[in-house]
Structure 1
């Protein structure tokens, strides 16, 4: 089964919804990053949204679709490692809908606090995202609540607005690196690239400690993979989304695996060169570009700082080279 990617008209309509909440985020060709990489390096700043990550775009369009269908529920439930939960919480609050979010034990303290600040009931369950997700699904069934998925067509149209902005602002991009958690970011990048007829190659980035998408794309079916990444929590998925595999297989140039050590180095580089804070998954795109720097010389390269929501103590350890 494959999901229909949003069209240009879908993305343009989604942008109208997104821009009611916040303006387009910036993208810059950073001179210091470019000198480091040996290529012109653009960075898309999705850390500048109201929740510090790209996910809010999808939550806004998902709830708009529910509202236009007259299907707003009394309560929504979802599972997250943090950024998707903030997206759902933001949109639920805007529509007056009660929101419960399930996170695994040991989740980011500051992401949890951010979700509580948006008015959610937070439940800690299980030791990893997939266990939390399964509990959220069961809880939604038990309560008769609406389960907001982490991957859905109504989310993709909103997320694609980030890439629509990026590709229009940087028409000379040769290649862009996109982190993959559950696939909405990469599928949306493919959708926006295709809708605009942009020539950029899209490279998917997975954590070397969470390889379900690399394994599933190689096998052409969902393959579960154990999760060991600590730093790239936004990519810490054990089970790939089946619906995401066909568009990723068709639209990605190739995949890159990045280790936690490479992610930490990218977080340090992004802070030193741009003074922006990147969470682990948010730095993964640049980590992959750095890994492939020898083949990128002279090209125009894009990476997305997809989120900046890293706990202060964790970021301090990264900067001090203790993580």
Structure 2
């Protein structure tokens, strides 16, 4: 478990690099949702996503524990890789990032701009991840997985900021990729001693964590078919699932169409850019609008990194 002291230590590091991100209640969005809706804007970090917090914390710890580390390697669909690249550049440790073939061009470009060695392999995240493990062994690199307690401690700082400022939130909706985001929110809530209900959000085409939550054990799927690449997980992490089973109230599945609508609403109602995973929490809130009417609700806009062509197509579907 991640305790309050660990989160506050991580926050001191994170805040030495970036300011706390804003949390805002947008009138048009609240009107649309039928509730008092607060948005934590993790699209306003140096890499445009919440993941930067975990990368900073993990790499700082690695640099102190093993200063002679020859390099790290990670698999990603983009935001975890940007986080690792950002933190690796800061610590001076080389980074290799493996992405699936056909990954977001703009996320790939952002990672290369951070100085990583980018390798394309496989049809999805899981295949890229399995290849990165083999490459780590072949090249003697430190494997930096997408879920680790040190990453969760760093990511928990966004939840700690949010819930410290809004302890009166009744429910918070959090998207689930491999699980660091929702586990960070759970850790922050528990560290603050709050009763806030935390609801996870997945897509219908990548429902591994929902199936796992319902069965109480890891359940893998054969595919993770969704336009929200940050949620495209088909093999749950057992450690993440254990924490989610203990700390989340439930998990909601939304469709890609509902996510695209939420992306458009973020633009029209707040003029904020949201990638698919970043809009999933709002999509779930709008799906459950009637049961939330008049309540005080929160969600995280976890990232805004989306290719121009894809975003244009989402807007044009309106």
Per the normalisation by structure 2, the TM-score is 0.98
Q: Which residue of 2 aligns with 1:133?
A: 129
Gaps of 5+ in 1: none
- Distance apart, 1:226 and its partner CA: 3.0
- Distance apart, 1:227 and its partner CA: 2.9
Selected match of 2:235 from 231, 235, 239: 239
- Distance apart, 1:20 and its partner CA: 1.5
SS of residue in 1 equivalent to 2:200: strand
What is the aligned length? 318
Q: Which residue of 1 aligns with 2:80?
A: 84
**Distance of 1:260 and 1:106 partners within structure 2:** 19
CA contact (8 A) 1:63 1:72 kept: no
Q: How do 1:159-170 and structure 2 match up within 5 A?
A: 159-170=155-166
Q: Which residue of 1 aligns with 2:301?
A: 305
SS of residue in 2 equivalent to 1:151: coil
CA contact (8 A) 1:66 1:72 kept: no
**Distance of 1:67 and 1:302 partners within structure 2:** 35
SS of residue in 2 equivalent to 1:256: strand
**Distance of 1:67 and 1:97 partners within structure 2:** 8
Q: Which residue of 1 aligns with 2:89?
A: 93
Selected match of 1:201 from 192, 197, 200: 197
Q: How do 1:9-158 and structure 2 match up within 5 A?
A: 9-158=5-154
- Distance apart, 1:292 and its partner CA: 0.4
RMSD between aligned residues: 1.0
**Distance of 1:115 and 1:123 partners within structure 2:** 11
CA contact (8 A) 2:206 2:226 kept: no
**Distance of 1:34 and 1:16 partners within structure 2:** 32
**Distance of 2:77 and 2:33 partners within structure 1:** 30
- Distance apart, 1:228 and its partner CA: 4.3
**Distance of 2:202 and 2:48 partners within structure 1:** 21
Selected match of 1:216 from 212, 216, 235: 212
Selected match of 2:244 from 228, 243, 248: 248
SS of residue in 1 equivalent to 2:17: coil
**Distance of 1:221 and 1:301 partners within structure 2:** 29
- Distance apart, 1:21 and its partner CA: 1.1
Q: Which residue of 1 aligns with 2:261?
A: 265
Selected match of 2:174 from 173, 178, 185: 178
SS of residue in 2 equivalent to 1:307: coil
CA contact (8 A) 1:187 1:244 kept: yes
**Distance of 2:285 and 2:166 partners within structure 1:** 17
CA contact (8 A) 1:86 1:115 kept: yes
**Distance of 1:132 and 1:50 partners within structure 2:** 25
**Distance of 1:290 and 1:226 partners within structure 2:** 29
Gaps of 5+ in 2: none
CA contact (8 A) 2:224 2:233 kept: no
